[in-house]
A and B are shown apart, each in its own frame.
Chain A
Amino acid sequence: MAKAHVTTTVNGDEYEFLCEPQQSLVNVLRDELRLSGTKEGCSTGDCGACSVMMDDRLVCSCLVLAVETEGKHIETIEGMGTAENLHPLQRRFLEINGLQCGICTPGILVAAKALLKKNPNPTETEIRFWLAGNLCRCTGYDKIIRSVQAAAEDLRKDKSNGNHS
């Protein structure tokens, strides 16, 4: 089967790849680009483990065809922070134990970051409904919600201190 040639930007870097027309974005991110931080839990849009940003929109990368990403900007967990410069969400998840096994964590972090960008001061209910598309089987969600709340506060403080990063 003829493969398509696609050029796309992932975490600020330009990538070119070949893919079959029916290949999903998560499949290409992982198997072709070897960015395996994005997880595949269901392939049907139900678990959120594959959450990434596409042109500033939160999407399930298992529901996006790789060929659709031509010219697009993708952000994955690999682009979120580094050990020296953790995103407040990453820091709070570590401190509050918002992760147990950690398989849902990349998707939840990406989704939570998208929420806080849209709504810097979400209520508990708003966080719960925003993350309703991200399954976690380990934590019962309690410490995930608390981590997001704490990170939201950090970000708000950062902003009021004039740090707009």
Chain B
Amino acid sequence: MATILEESGFNPDADLKVVGTNPVKHDGLDKVLGRAKFGADVYLPGMLYGKIVRSPHAHAKIKSIDISEAKKLPGVKAVITGADFPEIPQGSGWGDMSRTTIAREKVLFDGHPVAAIAAISEQVAKRACKLIKVEYDVLPHVIEVEDAIAKDAPILHDYMRTKGDEDAPDVPTNICEKMVSKIGDIDSGFASADFIVENDFDSKPMHQGYIEPQGCIADYSQDGLVELWTCTQAPFVYRDRLSAILKIDAAKINVQQSELGGGFGGKTGFYAEPLAIVLSKKASAPVKMTLTRTEVFRGTGPVSGTKSRIKMGCKRNGKIVAAEAELYFQTGPYTGSMYFNAPNAMFTRYDLPNIYIEAYEVVSNRPKVNSFRAPCVPQIVFGVEGLIDDMAKKVGMDPIDFRLKNAATEGHTTIYGDTWGPVGFVETLEAAKTTEHYRTPIKSGEGRGISCGFWFNRGGETASTMTLAPDGTVTISTGTADVAGSRISIAMMAAEELGIDVDKVRVKMSDTNSLGFNRVTAGSRTTFSVGMVVVDNARKCIGELCRRAANEWGVAEEEVKFENGEVKPASSNVGDFAPMSIGDITSKTTMTDGAIVSSSSMNVTGAGPGFGVHIVDVKVDEGTGRVDVLRWTVIQDAGKAIHPLQVEGQLQGAAIQGMGWALNEEYIYTQEGQLDNPGFLDYRMPVASDVPMVDCKIVEVPNPLHPFGLRGVGEVPVVPTMAAVGNAITAAIGIRPTSLPMSPPKLLDLIEKRDTLYP
């Protein structure tokens, strides 16, 4: 079967008019003027303010909740607790989701919501929160993975047994799932190795750190319709989940996404939204809820902290022959960490004959984790790419050459069973070698690190509509979210296909009532998948434009063609007709068959794997353990960069997020299981003065299953980051850090250890 690229005659070197340029994004103007409306920026008549009462305990039975005093406070319009939510059994997916929103039997983490209030002002709502009396029976808690899996650990759920582990005894456990993945025969693999490297690694949870705290406004009308305005990466998923846990028909819930002030995966699941809806129903008024930063840290999903042991072996010639891993992932109080991404992605990009991986997902008294760019992968790749560097050193090879020697290429069959088409890993590594950065020798006292990453990239359910206005301009409605500029990329692809100026196209983020289901905007799927449906929209509209023109000219449809935004006779034999622009045809729809619209809905497949290489230079102050990142270059295969500046932005942003995760960011808990650093002062994200410019080199190995050849770009660039920094630090100080974040106290300990080991 011909690929879509062959069908469309795609030629990456052809003179694309729009794709590959950098127009100003259409949503940009409102954003620099302060007019863009984010989650917290909408105000409705009669609106109330909602606030949440949260548990101060990590693990406790709720004995009673007394809301009577709060209800009496003037200005309070509604008070709700878990009892106001439909009963759904514990241990089921919906039951867990409902209980993450608001606790029932027990509170399971510091910050777990137990009640919520709607009042006429934020100040009154805050005062009312203090009047709610909750009686707790405090239970022993557990925070770290090793404590949660220890014998006699406090158990979070009596009903929990390990899914995927037939040998597990029938007793309660904190291990929710086990997954085993393998290729070949691991024992004979290691038996044939000349060098074996092995280490234990660990990482702490970090937070997505979006600057916009969650904000929403819910309006439950008297006739049972719900209007929800919220900042989300997943309006349709929110609708369907709200429908399930609140037992309201999906058709009666309309979710309209706001501008999104950052998500990075953290806004793929809701928090305050169900509470706002129930409050609105009870108070019979719109309810606005915005989380404080403290609530964002305590109550919304960080990423999984991990523990792992990884072992790899290679031949003297640099060929890797075996890789083994045992991985543990925190998930918070309920399953759902997407830990399975790690075994599927950790070694994928190398062609390894023998692999054995055991992965475990573990509950503990922490907030429920949420997605973050390439969920569960970067913190494990930290270990893998560290060991790869150790092996390269042992065999005496350049780190890029060592990776090239093992790089997977077209036709590779992965551990998850896919066989790849054209992929650009080798090209990306080769491009890294030619960068000015890599060719410039490192100064003495500094360290340079290399690391690589892979991400599957995703497709999935995607729907859109295209409407041609009488003047020939085009509106597109999409149901995905715009997390950082996808609207302009979508408009560009449509403009390219329609042969018109990108300014004649506008993309609107639709509400859920107006469009078919769209999967969450995550997994680097959006520009790819929406590109597919929008090109389909455009081709359908072009077909209709041709039909109308042929009718007008009284010729057969095959006798006209669409070229550069115009319908014209297919050849001079057809007749002497002046070409008609889109507007020439759409201005006459009153006389023809009505407006030209097209709708497209697909379960998109064909996402092309993405690869990146990062090069990082650091300097470590051996007196304080402080790391200065001096230079950073990202090389990545984008398939085709639709809007190169936006692609660069993705690469640069991911690099610096990974730098924070590598050096500073972590969740710190007190002995009592309370989060000790729920603010930006103590949870230290990189600021402008911490970081260098980030140079980018975009490689383009087209994905043959996309009309413009593109691959997703958002996840890949975070995958190699911590390993790149770790390898650079190792090069600088001569001993390998294995624990994230590589914060000054840890590096000082390591330097001391080095000095005793090798005085």
Do chains A and B interact in one complex? yes
* Tally of contact residues, A, Cβ under 8 A: 64
In the complex, what residue of chain A is closest to B679 when comparing beta carbons?
A44
B86 at the interface (CB under 8 A from A): no
Q: Is the CB of A140 within 8 A of B34?
A: no
In the complex, what residue of chain A is closest to B127 when comparing beta carbons?
A1
Q: A46-B680, A95-B24, A142-B694 are in contact. List 19 more A-B contacts (CB 8 A).
A: A23-B123, A31-B43, A37-B33, A42-B680, A49-B211, A97-B485, A101-B210, A101-B263, A102-B27, A103-B210, A103-B211, A104-B211, A129-B688, A132-B688, A132-B689, A137-B264, A138-B649, A142-B693, A145-B688
Q: Is the CB of B262 within 8 A of A97?
A: no
Q: Is the CB of A101 within 8 A of B262?
A: yes
Q: Residue-by-residue, is B25-52 near A (CB-CB < 8 Å gives 1, otherwise 0)?
A: 1011101111111101101000000000
Q: Residue-by-residue, is B603-633 near A (CB-CB < 8 Å gives 1, otherwise 0)?
A: 0000000000000000000000000000000
Task: Kindly identify, within residues 83 to 123 of chain A, every residue whose CB is under 8 Å from any CB belonging to chain B.
Answer: 83, 86, 90, 93-97, 99-106, 109
Interface-forming stretch among B89-97, B150-158, B652-660?
A: B652-660
In the complex, what residue of chain B is closest to A127 when comparing beta carbons?
B688
* Tally of contact residues, B, Cβ under 8 A: 59
Q: Is the CB of B293 within 8 A of A42?
A: yes
Q: Is the CB of A102 within 8 A of B40?
A: no
Q: Residue-by-residue, is B671-699 near A (CB-CB < 8 Å gives 1, otherwise 0)?
A: 00000000111000111111101100000
Contacts of A142 in B (CB 8 A): 648, 652, 693-694
Q: Is the CB of B679 within 8 A of A46?
A: yes
Q: Residue-by-residue, is A8-50 near B (CB-CB < 8 Å gives 1, otherwise 0)?
A: 0000000000001011000100110011111111111011010
CA distance A97 to B648 in the complex (A): 10
CA distance A100 to B37 in the complex (A): 15
Contacts of A137 in B (CB 8 A): 208-211, 262, 264, 653, 657, 685
CA distance A5 to B517 in the complex (A): 50
The residue among B34, B209, B680, B694 with the most chain A CB atoms within 10 A of its own CB is B34
A89 to chain B, nearest CB (A): 8
B22 at the interface (CB under 8 A from A): yes
CA distance A94 to B485 in the complex (A): 12
Q: Residue-by-residue, is B202-215 near A (CB-CB < 8 Å gives 1, otherwise 0)?
A: 00000011111100
Task: Kindly identify, within residues 469 to 526 of chain B, every residue whose CB is under 8 Å from any CB belonging to chain A.
Answer: 483-485
Q: Is the CB of B38 within 8 A of A94?
A: no
Q: Is the CB of A99 within 8 A of B688?
A: no
Contacts of A76 in B (CB 8 A): 34
Q: Is the CB of A97 within 8 A of B33?
A: no
Q: Is the CB of B293 within 8 A of A90?
A: no
Residues of B near any A CB (own CB < 8 A): 22, 24-25, 27-29, 31-38, 40-41, 43, 122-123, 208-213, 259-264, 290, 292-293, 483-485, 645-646, 648-649, 652-657, 679-681, 685-691, 693-694
Partner of B261, one of A90, A102, A127, A144: A102
Residues of A near any B CB (own CB < 8 A): 1, 20, 22-23, 27, 30-31, 34-44, 46-47, 49, 76-78, 80-83, 86, 90, 93-97, 99-106, 109, 125, 127-129, 131-146
Contacts of A106 in B (CB 8 A): 34
Known: A96-B645, A137-B209. A101 touches B687 (CB 8 A): no
A-B contact pairs, 12 of them (CB 8 A): A47-B293, A77-B34, A78-B35, A97-B645, A102-B31, A102-B261, A103-B38, A104-B211, A129-B689, A133-B687, A137-B264, A140-B653
In the complex, what residue of chain A is closest to B36 when comparing beta carbons?
A102
In the complex, what residue of chain A is closest to B263 when comparing beta carbons?
A101
In the complex, what residue of chain A is closest to B35 when comparing beta carbons?
A37
Q: Is the CB of B681 within 8 A of A97?
A: no
Known: A43-B292, A103-B262. A145 touches B123 (CB 8 A): no
Classify the secondary structure of A's interface with B.
loop
CA distance A23 to B679 in the complex (A): 20
Number of A-B contacts (CB under 8 A): 184
Known: A31-B122, A39-B212, A44-B681. A135 touches B24 (CB 8 A): no
Partner of A97, one of B36, B41, B649: B649
Q: Is the CB of B32 within 8 A of A86?
A: yes
The residue among B33, B35, B41, B655 with the most chain A CB atoms within 10 A of its own CB is B33
Contacts of B122 in A (CB 8 A): 27, 31
Q: Is the CB of B645 within 8 A of A44?
A: no
Q: Is the CB of A141 within 8 A of B656?
A: yes
Contacts of B654 in A (CB 8 A): 140
Q: What 9 pairs across the A-B complex have the smallest Cβ distances? A: A37-B34, A103-B261, A102-B31, A77-B34, A140-B656, A46-B680, A140-B652, A100-B484, A90-B32
Contacts of B210 in A (CB 8 A): 101, 103, 137
CA distance A82 to B32 in the complex (A): 9
CA distance A100 to B693 in the complex (A): 16
In the complex, what residue of chain B is closest to A104 when comparing beta carbons?
B211
Contacts of A145 in B (CB 8 A): 688, 693
Known: A41-B212, A94-B29. A134 touches B649 (CB 8 A): no
In the complex, what residue of chain A is closest to B717 when comparing beta carbons?
A140
A140 to chain B, nearest CB (A): 4
CA distance A49 to B122 in the complex (A): 20
A79 to chain B, nearest CB (A): 9
The residue among A38, A82, A103 with the most chain B CB atoms within 10 A of its own CB is A103
Q: Is the CB of B33 within 8 A of A136?
A: no
Contacts of A77 in B (CB 8 A): 33-34
CA distance A136 to B660 in the complex (A): 12
The residue among A23, A78, A86, A140 with the most chain B CB atoms within 10 A of its own CB is A140
Known: A132-B687, A139-B652. A97 touches B680 (CB 8 A): no
The residue among B212, B654, B679, B694 with the most chain A CB atoms within 10 A of its own CB is B212
Q: Is the CB of B688 within 8 A of A131?
A: yes
Partner of A41, one of B211, B648, B689: B211
In the complex, what residue of chain B is closest to A27 when comparing beta carbons?
B122
The residue among A31, A34, A97 with the most chain B CB atoms within 10 A of its own CB is A97
CA distance A74 to B3 in the complex (A): 59
B695 to chain A, nearest CB (A): 9
A77 to chain B, nearest CB (A): 3
Known: A104-B211, A134-B688, A140-B656. A42 touches B649 (CB 8 A): no
